[in-house]
Amino acid sequence: MPPATPSSSSVGDSDEDIPTESMVSAEADREAISAKLSSAQPFSPTSLRPDLHPRPELADALDPVAQADQDSTAEIAANAPRYRRKSSTFIDGIHDVTNDGNALAPAQLYSTMSGRLFHSGRIVIVMVGLPARGKTHICVSMARYLSWLGVKTRIFHLGDYRRATVPGGAVPDDYFFPHASPSSVMLRQKILKKCREDIYAWLNHENGQVAIYDAVNPTASGRRSLAKEFSKHDVQTLFLESYVDDERILTENARNVKISSPDFAGMDPDEAARLYLKRIGAKIPVFETMEEKELNYVKMINAGQKFFYNNVSFGYLSHRIVFYLTNLHIKSRTTFFVRAGTTTEEDSFKADAPLGEEGRAYAAKMSETLLQHREQERQAMLGNSKADFPLRPLTVWTSTRLRTIQTADYLKEKGYKVRQRSQMSQLNPGVCEKMSERAIRALYPEEVERHEVDPYHHRYPRAESYHDLAVRLEPIILELEREQNDLLIIAHESVLRVLYAYLMHCSTMDIPKLKFPRDEIIEIIPAAYQNEAKRVHIPGLDPNLVPGSPEDIKIPVPQSGGIYAVAGGGGGGGGSGNMSPMPGLSSPAEPQTATGAATGAPAASGTPVPSGTGVESPLRPPEKVVNTAADMVADKVADED
């Protein structure tokens, strides 16, 4: 997996993360901080307030003081997604806050003083729809695309604020009722107020351009009030409803996303899905679909089968959003990334050599591992269910390079559909291709200096930058969103870096460092709250194919003093870690050890064989190492907001 960045993953890492009104006195602050520094312990929100638990529902026991402070602004601040910090590139960063607010996005074409693009003002996208309709999936996907283009976008999940305000996230039974009790109405308004305060803070004080408000918003009167309130603050409102009346889609959404609650443990998945939908109908008895003619809205019907638009005519950005939505769907599917096999001669951007004998053997082993893994996943999904779930169709995408096409031949012969994409050709290295690092530094010292400052946007003479590649891949990204089959992408490592960065919301500084070992299949599963990454080991490969391959390009040039893994040579074990020009980094799905070194595989899987021995890596069953992101959002999947 990609490496962990130095920043901390805990919420409330610094003083500015805690709202002013929740601060204790300045003197108490100084005393607490001094005590903390003297004890050499890491700082956390509880260092100033021992009674403040970042996750109230996980606290062992709350004393009376803490209980009284449960609904404080500081408590909400500690839980709100706006205060998260990115910790690792193997975790989807769509809800993280970047450390550099002025950093350019991967596909951003220009910047402005205000930080807002496309001559568009501030926009709030208000989600509408009952639970299990794919609202969160839609708004997260939309935020991913807009952020990729450079539009400053943030998601505000009302469920996050409810969990921060109410211990355990359990609300009164009449919480969603239109004629709820006074206490429920007050609680509801309190949660809504905190969420909207953060929306206004984002738009007014942090130069945000698009805020996505993720909630049910069931009544027409409530939606009219929202639009009126936002217009008073000179904010345009676009409502987006996900309307689903297809029972098959509803059951699949509930089964895939909502039934991981302990309430449904051990139940048949289909029966649990039906019970969940029945429970939602009881908890939210009134829902009015969007028909307000005076409002700007888009109605997405049955996962994109139909669209209705009303008054969506307030600038280029709104049309760009609608265009993206027409390519989006909420159906479950998986994307796999693999590299092409090795060729008969030294790889070159200009040459187009066929696969060698080793390359064809790699293609066969990779394909068999993938097919076996998909069947294992299907069996795991069946679980206790009596129904039989057929495997989703698999589509294969390759570039137009001969080595990627031939890597897919094994699957093509088995009847799988293979499509070629010219935009997926590798990054053009320019005149520096095949030059040694010493030669590049001698001939282009100024270019090397620029590259070390910004390896993402810099381009060597007659070469492409990663930014150029990201812009070139935008049609591929839209097709990727539109694809409903499981998808295998066979491409050069530079292309995989950019596509992986889009799906996992990596920063521009991370992209040139991502690594895709040839002995691994990287699997991305689009989930509702954030994507999940896995890796599947390909057993039985010659280790000489893994640490260094002719496909590796000698740029980006590592910084002065860096260790460079020579293509085709040694320099490390046969695990995941040494076939990228950037040292000390791990593959996209693999966290680093405490020492910062990349690990090849879990210890239980066996010791990697050093390269150059000519001995195949130890045979072991295909493994899947799931990232910890799923555990981080386990309390969010059963949301009813």
Active site residues: 214
**478-485: long-range pairs with CB below 8 Å, 24+:** 478/324, 478/327, 479/327, 479/421, 480/335, 481/141, 481/145, 481/324, 481/327, 481/328, 481/329, 482/327, 482/328, 482/329, 483/333, 483/395, 484/329, 484/331, 484/333, 485/333, 485/392, 485/393, 485/394, 485/395
Structure tokens at 641: 């907001």
Residues shown for the chain: 641
597, 618 Cβ separation under 8 angstroms: no
> Could you tell me the sign of the dihedral formed by the alpha carbons of 287, 293, 296, 302, in that order?
positive
511, 494 Cβ separation under 8 angstroms: no
Both ends of the chain: CA-CA distance in Å? 33
Count of Cβ atoms closer than 10 Å to residue 423 Cβ: 15
Q: What is the DSSP letter of 23?
A: -
Mark out the alpha helices in 545-616 (DSSP H runs): none
- On the CB side of 410, how many CA atoms lie within 13 Å of its CA? 21
- Please state, in angstroms and as integers, the Cα–Cα distance from residue 303 to each residue in 321, 330, 348, following that order: 16, 5, 43
**DSSP SS3 for 176:** coil
Strand partners, 300: 242, 307
Structure tokens at 546: 């893994």
128, 240 Cβ separation under 8 angstroms: yes
| Distance in angstroms (rounded) separating the CA atoms of residues 411 and 415 | 7
**DSSP SS3 for 239:** strand
> Could you tell me the sign of the dihedral formed by the alpha carbons of 41, 43, 44, 49, in that order?
positive
| Distance in angstroms (rounded) separating the CA atoms of residues 582 and 209 | 35
Closest CA to 156 of 217, 99, 232: 217
> Could you tell me the sign of the dihedral formed by the alpha carbons of 33, 38, 44, 47, in that order?
negative
Count of Cβ atoms closer than 10 Å to residue 129 Cβ: 25
- Label residue 522 left, alpha or beta by phi (over 0 means left) and psi (-120 to 50 means alpha): beta
| Distance in angstroms (rounded) separating the CA atoms of residues 77 and 194 | 9
The string of DSSP letters for 54-119 reads SSGGG-S---HHHHHTTTSHHHHHHHSGGG-B--BTTS--TTPBPS-TTPPPTT-----SSS--TT
Backbone angles phi, psi at 307, to 5 degrees: -135, 145
Please name the amino acid found at residue 365. Answer: K
